[in-house]
Structure 1
């Protein structure tokens, strides 16, 4: 039987209302991630928390040692659950994430967190490239409004576009309800 790991990406204080880089729908995404986290813990599945910090204090968000860079209480890690500190978009880059998964003989990863269009996307694509079977729980992820070349992209559309791209070639995409029912 394939072993699973839940990877909870960057659900940190700065992404919530009042933080330095608020995401659209972050509270609901974190609530769904908390449900996934509880289910993984009850099943004895590996849970890996990813926490992003920029290297300097003048960062736009997730400044080193700041309250904003701390994991949000809704998905706080428990003793014994690995917390991977990253300084880049891709959770595998210059971190121990792959060795944690490989040491636990993980074959399948379930991914949730933030931001849909950045770190969730990067981790999913990298996971696929490393040979893991990937599932992204789309309603346990959040994004924000984007701008490109004078075009405003609402958060819901940015999120949907990235989830559609991941589902097309990198991952299965399901809702929290669908995942918990399976």
Structure 2
């Protein structure tokens, strides 16, 4: 029997309006993540929250001990839900995430959160590399505009490009509505 874990990545205050690093579409993405959390709790799936904190106070966001680094109230962990504190982009690197999933017999992960082009991308690829069956809930993730070679890529296009790449070879892509209905 398959054991599923919902991995909720970096839905933290600094990514919301008024925070130090606001994302495009973060509020509807967080509402969708909250729906996913509700479904996972109902189904008895493991829910794991990832919280990013940079190791130094001179970081542009997620500074240690700040309200900006706290998990947003919309996806607050329930008592007993594991929170992984990470200091790097990849949620597995130098954390207990893989050990926690393996301890609970997880073989399928569902991923949502922030940012599509960084931490969601890294965790999705690492999950697939570790052999987990991976689903990304694309409308429960958010991004921001990116710059490269003097060109600005709008957040919606950055998000779409990363979801497309992940969906090509690393994960099944689903909307919140489709996942909740399944």
Cα displacement string for residues 73-115 of structure 1 (whole angstroms, at most 9, x for unaligned residues): 0000011000000000000000000000000000000000000
Summarize deviations over 1:28-79 as a string: whole Å, max 9, x none. Answer: 0000000000010111100000000000111100000000000000000011
Shift of 1:10: 0.1
Deviation at 1:173?
Answer: 0.4
Structure 1 position 146 matched with structure 2 position 167: no
- Structure 1 residue runs of 5 or longer lacking an equivalent are none
CA distance, structure 2, for counterparts of residue 152 and residue 56 of structure 1: 28
Q: Which residue of 1 aligns with 2:170?
A: 170
Provide TM-score, normalisation by structure 1. 1.00
Shift of 1:181: 1.0
Matched, 1:158 2:158: yes
- Partner of residue 129, structure 1: 129
1:113 aligns with 2:110: no
Structure-to-structure mapping, 1:15-94, within 5 angstroms: 15-94=15-94
Distance 1:175 1:78 in 2: 24
SS of the residue aligned with 1:113?
strand
Q: Which runs of 4+ in 1 moved over 6 A?
A: none
Structure 1 SS opposite 2:141? strand
**2-structure distance, mates of 1:57, 1:98:** 28
TM-score norm. by structure 2 comes to: 1.00
Helix, strand or coil: the match of 2:23?
coil
- Secondary structure, counterpart of 2:21 in structure 1: coil
3-state DSSP class of the match of 2:126? helix
Deviation per CA, 1:1-38: give whole Å up to 9, x if none.
21100000000000000000000000000000000000
CA drift at 1:161: 0.1
Coordinate RMSD, CA, aligned: 0.4
